[in-house]
Structure 1
């Protein structure tokens, strides 16, 4: 089968000879229809910036697959279903950093394993059904939306709170849109890509602006004189983090989601208020991600979160280099590779 393989830092290729994965009684085999390129984790893996990398590996963790074979003890899925996060186990000769950019993947029936005391792994609880009526390739964005929604719950977002999101990548736009869906008061997004800023406005941000034209802190103070309850750095940038320190009210929360912050970054910690919460939400927690499935799918099926606003490009996997170019060039929002 086909699959995107990272052979060394910066060296990625499409192989066509990967072995098909095998399934056990509690698993289904999926033919993947698409997989989103994660602007954060995938790009860091390609660039060799994760400490736990083992080469060669099959890339991708935002896959949607259609069930083509069902293990005899599976009860939650049936042939023809579309499932989020179909993944690869390690294959002979290849490691897997979740393996979503492969033609076929595997999904566990977590509920059946749990009921049968058959070694259920909570990490597989995120293998969940795509509701009818949602385009299966666009459904790859559900994975990001669920990660973000669970992060907002972990940051204890409350109805009526004022929220500022710094960063206009797929995660930043999703943060602003979901905060509004979840009942936030004023929601502001700060970025510097006009098309993405426009998308954030269409998706519900009360104010979205270009930080190259309007200073972040001054603009937010003028719009939210009452203060900021939740500030989220969706990039991982020391200057954005320090802007959050300048803006957050007493006992407010600063959330650090972006992965870009280096350990040696120069940060003026004297800007931090004496009473506030600084919380990292940089990695999804499977149990919490799966818990928001119905909530997020409800926002999508009701029309409040149109996935077409996020998934701006659908590109055949054979043209993966063009997809990576778009991500690196900050073109579009979410790029999905299709099989």
Structure 2
């Protein structure tokens, strides 16, 4: 099969790799689509993802695929099921490491429930926490749209972990697919007012369409001043959906007493100096940069419900669709900054 590999030095290459083997509790999946994560994937390509130094690595972790073969002990999947989060586990015969590996023609999912039923759950060498979130997508959701469910579940799980509540105020920094999803979910969860900080004028309307009550271009206005006009006592939450250390510094001037700064974006600079002289006396800083697959799985039904009701439209978050046969040109997209929202890779 073909896979997209990075050397961690900015290089990308499409290589031939042995199709992954699977055990009795796993299923082989033919990939249908996979989202490009401009946070994780870009940092893996640049060799700047914290804690990862195993190269060359196969990229892709927001995948959707169709089950084509199942192990003898599998009970939760059948041939033809569309499933989320297939991965290429471990190292291939060709010595390519797993950067989760979903930019491949085939990958594998595991049956968490069958393993747990056979007393081979968490702690057993056969079990992976990822299996919780390798769940079935209803057939009425198109495969390109389905790739967005990965981002949606991660963000909703983060909203719950951060403790968002109806009626609370929030400022979100960033209007990429993650920032826009935070804005949408804040609104769906009853938070108000919702403020989004963007860096381009064309993003203002996107933020408002996603659910923001107010949107400001931080390159043309003083975001701290504008937010303080709206909230003299500060906001309940400030969310970094970009991965920029300066956002944390700005957020300290925005949150109210006992407010929370929520760091979801992953910065390429892993240290900074914090000046809290302008912050409230009591505030908290919450980093959440490694999603819990169990918590994601618990968000699955809510996301599907919102999609089916029309409250959440995956296509609104997708700007580009690239055929896997053309994935060798992905580096050109990244270098030129041509991706406005989410890019989905579509397999033939």
Q: What TM bracket, shorter-length normalisation?
A: over 0.9
Q: Is the 8 A contact 2:261 2:284 kept in 1?
A: yes
How many residue pairs get aligned? The number is 338
Among candidates 320, 328, 343, match of residue 335 of structure 1: 343
Secondary structure in structure 2 of the residue aligned to 1:258:
coil
Secondary structure in structure 2 of the residue aligned to 1:271:
coil
Deviations 1:72-105 (A, max 9, x none): 2211111111111001012112110100100001
Among candidates 161, 183, 187, match of residue 154 of structure 1: 161
- Offset, 1:323: 3.8
Query: Are 2:100 and 1:98 aligned?
Result: yes
Q: Structure 1 unaligned runs (5+)?
A: none
Distance 1:172 1:188 in 2: 11
Q: Is the 8 A contact 1:138 1:307 kept in 2?
A: yes
Q: How does 1:32-181 map to 2 (within 5 A)?
A: 32-50=31-49, 51-90=51-90, 91-92=92-93, 93-118=95-120, 119=124, 120-181=127-188
Distance 1:13 1:135 in 2: 28
- Offset, 1:46: 0.3
| TM score, norm. by length of structure 1 | 0.95
Distance 1:325 1:333 in 2: 16
Deviations 1:260-300 (A, max 9, x none): 16244343232332211110011101111111111122222
Secondary structure in structure 2 of the residue aligned to 1:246:
coil
Q: Is the 8 A contact 1:238 1:261 kept in 2?
A: no
Distance 1:248 1:45 in 2: 32
The root-mean-square deviation of aligned C-alpha atoms, in Å, is: 1.7
Deviations 1:187-229 (A, max 9, x none): 1111113333322221211122211222211221223345311
Q: Structure 2 unaligned runs (5+)?
A: none
Distance 2:12 2:268 in 1: 25
Q: Is the 8 A contact 2:39 2:266 kept in 1?
A: yes
Deviations 1:108-156 (A, max 9, x none): 0111111111333323211011123211122111111111111111110
Query: Residues 7 and 239 (structure 1 numbering): CA distance in 2 closer, same or farther, change over 3 Å?
Result: closer
Match for residue 190 of structure 1? Answer: 197
Among candidates 282, 292, 295, match of residue 288 of structure 1: 295
Q: Is the 8 A contact 1:227 1:249 kept in 2?
A: yes
Distance 2:153 2:84 in 1: 11
Q: Is the 8 A contact 1:164 1:189 kept in 2?
A: yes
Q: Is the 8 A contact 2:8 2:44 kept in 1?
A: no
Q: How does 1:168-247 map to 2 (within 5 A)?
A: 168-225=175-232, 227-247=234-254
Secondary structure in structure 2 of the residue aligned to 1:269:
coil
- Offset, 1:321: 4.9
Match for residue 314 of structure 2? Answer: 307
Secondary structure in structure 2 of the residue aligned to 1:39:
coil
Q: Is the 8 A contact 1:238 1:267 kept in 2?
A: no
Q: Is the 8 A contact 2:176 2:340 kept in 1?
A: no
Match for residue 17 of structure 2? Answer: 18
Distance 1:54 1:135 in 2: 34
- Offset, 1:336: 0.9
| TM score, norm. by length of structure 2 | 0.92
Q: Is the 8 A contact 1:166 1:172 kept in 2?
A: yes
Distance 1:94 1:264 in 2: 30
Distance 2:78 2:12 in 1: 34
